[in-house]
Amino acid sequence: MFFSYKYVIILIYNSTMNERITLKDKTFEMYIPENIIVEAIKQIACDIARDMDGRDPLFVGILNGAYMFVAELMSRLPPTCELTFAAYSSYHGTKSEGIVKELLPVHINNKDRPIILLEDIIDTGLTMQYVINRLRKAGVADVRLAAMFIKPGALKCDIRPDYAGMEIDDDFIVGFGLDYDGYGRSLRSVYKIVK
C-alpha cells in the first residue's frame, strides 16, 4: 500500500530550538514543537473522517505511548466514534528488543467493522506488523494504521501507515506520549536524544 506524507519535518534552528532537557542519564534537545504536531494530527483527522464517512470504525489506541496522539486525534473526530485500547511492548530503554510482548490484546466483537490502530511511532514496524497480522488472521477484513511518526530509516519490515503525521530521522525521541524508561511522556513538544 503506497501513501504520501502530509508533513515532512524540516527544522530551522533558532533560539527556541536549542532548548534541552535531561531525563535520568540522557539529554534531549527540542526537535518538533507542539504546534507542528497538532497541525499534522488535524490533517490525519480530516483524512480519516473522509475515508470513514458512513462507516462505523473501531479505533484502537496502542498504549502507553499513543495516549496523547489518541486524545488529540479523537477530539477532532465525531463523539460517536468508539475507542478502545490495547498494549504491546518491544522496547527497553532506548532500543527495541525485537520481540513483541502482548500485554493487552485487541478484542474484536464484529469482524465486519473497520479497525483503525492508533500508534505513536512506527520504528522497526515489527509491533504493528504483528498486531495487523493477528487481526487479519482473526478475520478482520479492513485493518488500517494511523501513526503520528514514522522512521523510514529504522523499518525492518514492509509496513506503511494508511495515515501518517510525519516522517522523522532515526533518532530516539521523547514527548507527546513517547518516553525514555517511563519519563518524558507528558512533554507537549518532541525532543530528540543528544548523542
Q: Give catalytic residues, as residue numbers.
A: 123
CA 144, distance to chain mean position in Å, is 13
User: Could you give the strand order of the β-sheet that contains 190-193, starting from the edge strand earlier in sequence?
Assistant: 20-23, 26-32, 190-193, 173-174
Count the helix, strand and coil residues of the chain and give each as a percent rounded to the nearest 5.
25, 35, 40
Which residue, 81, 77, 85, 84, is CA-closest to 43?
77
Kind plus residue range of the DSSP H or E element containing 22: strand 20-23
Distance CA 124, CA 187 (A): 23
Helix axes 34-51, 67-74, angle to 10 degrees: 60
Residue type, 86: A
